Amino acid sequence: MSVFNAYMSLSGAVDADVARDEPLSRRTSYHIGGPAALVVRARSYAALARTVEVLAEEGVRWVVLGKGTNVLADDAGYDGCVILLEGEFSRVNVSADDRTVTAGAGAPLSRVVNEALRASLSGIEPCVGIPGTFGGALSMNAGTRREWIGRRVRDLVVYRPGEGMHRYEGGEIEWGYRSTTLPTSEIILEATLSLMPADKDAIAADMDARLRRRRQSQPLSLPSCGSVFRNPPDRSVGALIESCGLSGLTCGGAQISETHANFIVNRGGASSADVLALITRAHDAVRERYGIDLSPEVKFLGFGG
């Protein structure tokens, strides 16, 4: 593996900014994480394709990162390349006539939601207040336990390394709670959502109500990765962890939130080891008491993997 050769091959040769040893704490909502060996901010499809090609040639592993809102990055860093999708990947187009919103994977999810509201298009309200990018929302099928973005996908375009672009019809993909059948080896480039016309004031009122519930039930004032675990069928992870007496438990600068026990917050100076220790403690306590093996919703970056 030659990170240096990859850096030299990409610097100035593609429509991208290339940096070395950039702290992942700048790229994650936790504000935690050591340096990534390479960071490439690709602004075009050609830049993305060339970046992945060079990384393959040099044997450098890579990951696409959005806003890092559901990621815990290792304090030891990541010895591969973090790819950020910007430029043409951030475009959002609305067609009121077709009742669609088409957006690039790098577009902020909040912008997609707001553009739909401006066009009086309904169907994406469950995503209001969810941080991150559109691509990240698609990859994790963001929304609630019963309403998710995948149900609105008309079609989706991905990049298959070594092959090129491929278009899926929304129905070709299986969408479930916090899951999709999209191969993890493929990079989401853009998607089109089919929405429904509705009264703008009614859409806004629905969004406001959802935002109020989020503010009342989640610790939004402190850095976190959002929900740590997926909810098991008909159970609330927050309630399970709380019933194990773990609300407010601390480890270093990290704490299991007293507001919502499925959130682990950074109260200041938390390390990845602090957060990981609390994740493990909560997982093991719930398994011991209820026999439920909780599945992480948070993604881990680094940690030797």
SS3 189: strand
Which residue numbers are catalytic? 178, 227, 297
Where does the chain have alpha helices with state H?
A: 3-10, 45-58, 109-118, 134-139, 200-217, 237-243, 272-290
Reported as type and span, the H/E element at residue 31 is none
Closest CA to 40 of 54, 22, 19, 59: 19
Task: Please report the beta strands in the chain, taking only residues with DSSP state E, as ranges in sequence order.
Answer: 16-23, 35-42, 62-64, 71-73, 78-85, 92-95, 100-104, 121-122, 153-160, 164-169, 175-176, 179-180, 187-194, 196-197, 250-251, 254-256, 264-266, 299-301
